Every structure is written in C-alpha cells, then in structure tokens.
Structure 1
Amino acid sequence: MSVLKSFVESVRSGAIEVIDLTAPLSSDTPILQLPEPFGNTIPFRLEEISRYDDRGPGWYWNDIHTGEHAGTHFDAPVHWITGRDGEDVSQVPARSLIAPAVVLDFSAESAKDPDFLLQIDHVKEWERANGPLPEGGWLLYRTGWDTRAGDQAAFLNADESGPHTPGVSVECAEWLASSTSILGFGVETVGTDAGAAHSFDPAFPCHSYLLGAGKYGLTQLRNLDRLPVTGAVVVAPPLPILGGSGSPVRVLALVER
C-alpha cells in the first residue's frame, strides 16, 4: 500500500485523529488592543453580497473584512522589524506548513499567575523528561488561556497597568530563537508574547527574536489539552497573501490513536 493511501485510510478509520486547534472566526473573536497612538486591526466582519434573493437567487456569499492578525493566525517573519528582510506569508515554503509538534503544558502555573513566564530552565527540564525539541517543528505552549476565548475582557485580562496574560521571558525567547532548531512557536493567547511584554527589554521578545530568526508564530490556538506531549503533526496553511505579514489560518493536528 502506498504511503498516501495508508495515510488516507488511517484518517478515515480514526487511527489518525484530526483535531482542530482553531478558534471560530466571527465579530466576537477577541483581537489585540494596542494603546494610542498605535494603530489597531479591525474586528472580523461579514458583509452579505446575496442570499438566495434578487441580488443572487441561487447562491449565498459574503465579502469579509478582517485583519491579517485576527483570531487564530500565522505570523510571518516580515511581521516584525527584526524580520523585515525575511519571508512574507506568501513566501513561507509549503513543506514548512506540515511539521511535528510538542506541547509544553504550564496551564497550572498560568492559572495561579496570569503573568507567568516560560523560562529556559522550564524548557530544559521538559527536554530531560521528554527528549529534545523537534527539529523543524512547533513548540506549542499550553497555558489554559483558550478557556477565556469567549470573553474579550477575560481573554485580554487588562487593567490600568495593561494586559496580564502568560508568555515567555526575554532570555527564553532569545534562547529559543538562537539555540534551538524549532520551526515556530504557538500559543493560546492573543499574541505570542506575554501581556506585559510591552515593558520588557526588548519589548515583545518573542516577536523580536523568533521572527527575527526566520521562525514563525501561531496564536489563539485551542484544544492543546487533546494533544500528546510529543508525536502530533501540525498542519497550518495560511493564505498566501502577497506581501502579507500574516494570515488567519485553520490549524489542524494529526494524532495517532
């Protein structure tokens, strides 16, 4: 039996489970809110063209209005100034859109401290227990934050000092970018950086270091609790927007059962 035929039969039989890691995209989807004077993306919106009526009696369709970084989305290197000479989202090689993934679960720590930061020692301890991070694969960072995704205020968790969401320390972000061979970094929060990362040095270190190193980001994932610690394969094809800095994406995980 050919490899592809075996794969298709395994999906159909349930020997390979397909798990959707994507948040539904609607006008209620939480989006990043930057303070003035910075610009902000627009909420997702459908604009009806016709729906089985005099504008089009036999069909239903819409225009969509959205930002590149709305909902579950893919960050390309060119999204950040440190990656300004890197790939735009249309230039990401197709072979990079299917890759192995591991899950680092710090949901208990994040439940106790919404400003929890992943440190180098956390990752190294995980590697001692589970083996090395996957070469050319995704590091998926589980914090349990997807449980808040139905409420923008709870999801952004902001007060007078700014947002409070878990993320990665400056030192860990630099280390992941320079000392590991991961393809990219995926999170359940609104962006790959901690809510307080605007105050770090450098600000937004995941964006700065990882995108600057030519790696990718995935945000607003869900269902990471359904994945094994190792062994999953992630399929994450963004729209090939010419010159685009990112794109909404439907992220699927393939898991052997």
Structure 2
Amino acid sequence: MTLVETFRGARIIDVSPVIRPGMPVFPGHPALEIDATARTHSRDGYFLQTLVIGEHTGAHADAPAHAVASMAAQTIDSIPVERFVVPYLIIDLAPLSLAAGEYATAADVRAAEVATGHSLEAGDAALLDFGWEAHYDEPDDWWVRNAPGLAEDACAYLLGCGVGLVGSDTATCDIAMRDGAMLAAYGHSTYFLPNGIPIVEGLAGLGSAPRRGVFVGAPLKIAGGSGAPLRALLISEGEQ
C-alpha cells in the first residue's frame, strides 16, 4: 500500500484549541488581541484581521531557547520540522485525578503506557492527558494558573525512553502550578529542553483521541522565536 493510499483511509483529529480573545494566557504573557476591522469588505473590498499574540499562546511549542540560557541559539526556527511529525502515544493520566500542584510519577507514566498496549519508542511524541481540559473555561485563567505536572523520575523515565517530543493538555507540561506559582520544572530545566526535546503545551481533545498514531504539529517559523503557536493534528488508522 502506498503512502497516499494509507493517508486516504486515515482519521485526522484536531487537538488544538481555538485562538480567540479571552482565551487563557500564561501569567505575565501578553493577552491575545484580534482586530477584526483591520480590513473590511465595505471599506477595503476584502476581509483581514490583525493579531497581537505571544509565542506561547494556545497550542504551542517550546524551543530550548525558551528556558535554557546556554541554548539561546536553539530557537523555534532552527528545529527541523520533522521533529514535529512523529509517531505519538497518548499517556492517559486523567484516572489519577491529580490536583493542581501534584505530580505524576514514573510508575504512573509507565502504568499508563502499559495500559495502551503499546510502548514508547525512540523519537515518539509522548502526549500527556492529565484530563486538565475539563478546567479550560474556568474563570480568572484558572486553567493556566493551576496544573499537575511530572515528578523528576517521570521526566527521567521519558528521557530514558528516547522520546523526541513531550506534549500535554496543560499550559505547562511537566511544570506543576498552584495559584500561578511554578512548583518545579524538571522537564523544562533538566530533562527535556536541555536535551533538545521540544515541548508542546495546550493540547485539546486528547481524551477522545486514538491512543496511537502520528502527531503533526509544525510550529510557525518565527525568526529567533522562543516558541510558536501550532495547529496540532493526530493521524490514525482508527481507534486504538
């Protein structure tokens, strides 16, 4: 079977939130602004909006330059795009019912991996479903100011698996948050970004997606960017 034939029978799932005014934005980051009147049909003969948007808005990727000062040259535009088109495995941590500020351990991650019937392989994207999307529309940016995260041994486990990307349905991936305070950042500071492993945050709909497939999430190619928004897609042959 050719690649085209395989693709024609594939299921494609959008796991990105809608970019819209009022969406949750990380504390201290610029709020999203959309000017829907920049160009209008009545005045200009066509419709166009302008956006003021932080690099880490909505579903987005973090480059090593975002959190590792010694890797300032490893910006989002320097990362080969194939790093964002990789097999994925969804690690379902939602049954743990972790609260804001709590951590999933290596044992938790491994148990969720085993439950899929698959194993993380070198280069895979490990997509962490904390079940946090349920809090997305809570007032006062609660979703982005609070989140569970990964214990240090969980980050070490994923690094040991040789993952090529780590994503999550929280705004901070491995970082546990409580009331806007970061409690630890093992992946950002030690295990993921310092080892050249991109992080993707703010994913949506992981809970209903097939467990295994191909992740496609090419970030905007922003010169010197610390990260960039992306449209995250999952491609699968069917429910797994």
Q: Check whether TM > 0.5.
A: yes
Shift of 1:115: 3.2
Bigger Cα Rg: 1
Q: Which amino acid aligns with 2:172?
A: G
| Structure 1 residue 154, shift from structure 2 partner | 6.4
Q: Which aligned pairs between 1:83-102 and structure 2 lie closer than 5 A?
A: 84-85=71-72, 87-102=74-89
- Equivalent residues of 1:29, 1:152 under 8 A apart: no
Partner of 2:20: 26
Deviation string 1:14-64 (CA, Å, 9 cap, x unpaired) is: xx111110000111110111xxxxxx221111123111122x1x2000111
In the alignment, which of 225, 230, 236 is matched to residue 207 of structure 2?
Answer: 225
Deviation at 1:107, TM superposition (A): 1.0
Equivalent position to 1:169, from 141, 151, 163: 151
2:3 alignment counterpart: 3
The 8 Å contact of residues 218 and 230 in structure 2, kept in 1 or not, is answered as yes
Given the alignment, which residue of 99, 123, 136 partners 2:109? 123
AA of the residue aligned to 1:218: V
Q: What amino acid does structure 2 have at the position aligned with 1:184? A: L
Question: What is the TM-score when the length of structure 1 is the normalising length?
Answer: 0.82
1:11-90 equivalence runs, <5 A: 16-33=10-27, 40-47=28-35, 48-54=37-43, 56=44, 58-81=45-68, 84-85=71-72, 87-90=74-77
RMSD of aligned alpha carbons: 2.1
Long gaps (5+) in structure 2: none
Q: Percent same amino acid at aligned positions?
A: 23
Counterpart contact for 1:232–1:256, Cα < 8 Å:
yes
1:107 aligns with 2:94: yes
Cα drift, residue 151 of structure 1: 2.5
- CA displacement at 1:78 relative to structure 2: 1.2
CA contact (8 A) 2:137 2:143 kept: no
Q: 1:237 to 1:220 in 2, by over 3 A?
A: same
CA gap 1:82/1:127 in 2 versus in 1, 3 angstroms: farther
- Aligned partner of 1:216 in structure 2 is 198
Contact 1:23-1:221 at 8 Å conserved across structures:
yes
